[in-house]
Structure 1
Amino acid sequence: MFKRFARLRVAALLAGLVLTSACTASNSNPSAVSYTEGKEYVTLPGPAQRYSADGKVEVVEVFSYGCIHCAHFAPKAEELRKQLPPGVKFKLLPAAFSDAWLPYARAYYAAEKLGVVEKTHLDLFAKKFDQHYPISTLDELADYYATQGVDRAKFLAIATSPEVTQQIKKDLELVQKWGVDGTPTIVVDGKYRSNEIKTLDQLGAMAQWLAQRELSGK
């Protein structure tokens, strides 16, 4: 239904992305239902390719602030994050699927570094898609974060830093390995990826189901 909105253009981005460069858990009992491998989710080939190495089961949402479907999923993802059991960590991975989405990925990592993601994540989606603020370029994103009390110059310095550029490059390589070609996509523990999902509610419920199954397996 909503899986392939933003087509992946990773090769071109990886070629141009250098270090000097400045798309729910409302089911209260997800274990009561099951999902089919090869339909709602797929098992990724090879050893697990995790986003982090913190040892916890991870639920990663591949998203973008440029994706309206991610905006619709964001409140459900927040419910999912709060309902995940101990031992499971929810993470966000900003996908730079195109040149137009690259500023959003930079902005996310700058906001994370500055400690304002929790404050701004849902609000940025609302400003862009509900209130239609012009939030597309990195300068416009810097203006938005400045309204949230962030130092504009510091935001831009972090967003265009070599460290953020390298992280985005690593992310692009990882989403290629995961076979992600649209947003929002959920990847659990680097092993399972959402596939033929019909609704955003189903996406969140399946993510919780997979996480609980992975946790019990550990």
Structure 2
Amino acid sequence: MFKTARFRLTTLLCGLVLTSACSAAGADTSAKPPFTDGNEYVTLPAPYQRDSSSGKIEVVEVFSYACIHCAEFSPYADQLRKDLPPGVEFKLVPAPFNDSWVPFARAYYAAKKLGVLEKTHDVLFQKKFLDQYPINSPDEIANFYAGEGVNKDDFMKAFNSPETDAQIKKDLALIQSWGVDGTPTIVVDGKYRSNNIKDFPQLVALTKWLVQQELSAKGK
């Protein structure tokens, strides 16, 4: 059973998403898509305004360091990033859905600005959820990064910068436009959003399948 963190902008509701796996009829040998629009994924109605001019297909994981299910998905996401074909790029968007999650979104952009994101991304999940370190408040988050060799004053400056404020506001608008209400959620090229997923391997398989649909549509 696939767990997600769910919320409605100001209220965080962690719970279970109960879904049923698609099963093919035993006597039906016709080729059917392995995933169904409206079930495992949804096609988004509004076009996505790309930030990137690379021309690559974008796979975006909407996540939070406050979400234990994102921590559980992290090894799958790391492998997915490695498995994506040329012409596809993997991105992260931190979900700033409520007051308790905003500091973690700020931490993501501070780490990115200071060039320590790759080094600290999985470690933060491990410290918070596996080792059960108290990492919740801005000061506790800053202490975590200091323990990873980051200057605390530099971190807090980036954490509280106007650039970080603007990016979080932009992220919230984007995530709302996608209709994301749980983490981890995958959005492929701003066109398709994961929906009713039973487990992490299915989410990975769905992502790869949607990527192939986009590559085929673009003649790549």
Taking only aligned residues, the RMSD between alpha carbons, in angstroms, comes to 1.8
Preserved CA contact (<8 Å) 2:64 2:104 = yes
- Number of the residue aligned with 2:90: 90
Give secondary structure in 1 for the equivalent of 2:173: helix
Question: CA contact under 8 A between 1:3 and 1:185: conserved in structure 2?
Answer: no
**Any conservation in 1 of the 2:5–2:184 contact (CA below 8 Å)?**
no
Name segments (4+ residues, structure 1) moved above 4 Å: 1-4
Instruction: Work out the CA distance in 2 between the residues paired with 1:127 and 1:3.
Output: 20
Q: What's the counterpart of residue 144 of structure 1? A: 144
Greater mean alpha carbon deviation, residues 175-184 or residues 52-61: 52-61
| Displacement after TM superposition at 1:53 (Å) | 4.0
Report the CA distance between 1:49 and its aligned residue. Answer: 4.1
Does 1:7 find its partner at 2:7? yes
Unaligned runs of 5+ in 1: 12-31
Aligned pair count reads 198
Greater helix percent: which structure?
1
1:3 and 1:195 in contact (8 A); partners too: no
How far apart are the structure 2 equivalents of 1:158 and 1:33? 45
Give the TM-score normalised by structure 1.
0.86
- 3-state DSSP class of the match of 2:210? helix
Percent of aligned pairs with the same residue? Answer: 62
The gaps in structure 2 that reach 5 residues or longer are: 12-31
C-alpha contact (below 8 Å) 1:48/1:190 kept by paired residues: yes
Label 1:44 to 1:108 Cα distance change in 2 as closer, same or farther (>3 A).
same
Higher normalized strand content (fraction of residues) = 2
Aligned counterparts, 1:1-218, within 5 A: 2=2, 5-9=5-9, 34-50=34-50, 52-218=52-218
Q: Which moved more, 1:135-144 or 1:99-108?
A: 135-144
Q: Match of 2:7, SS?
A: coil
- Measured in 2, the distance between the counterparts of 1:44 and 1:137 equals 35
CA contact (8 A) 1:3 1:184 kept: no
Instruction: State the one-letter code of the partner of 1:103.
Output: P
Q: TM-score, with normalisation over the residues of structure 2?
A: 0.85
Map Cα deviations across residues 19-44 of structure 1 (whole Å, 9 max, x no partner). Answer: xxxxxxxxxxxxx9721111100000
* Partner SS state of residue 193, structure 2: strand
1:137-161 CA-partner distances (Å, limit 9, x unpaired): 1111111111111111001100110
Name the structure 1 match of 2:27. Answer: none
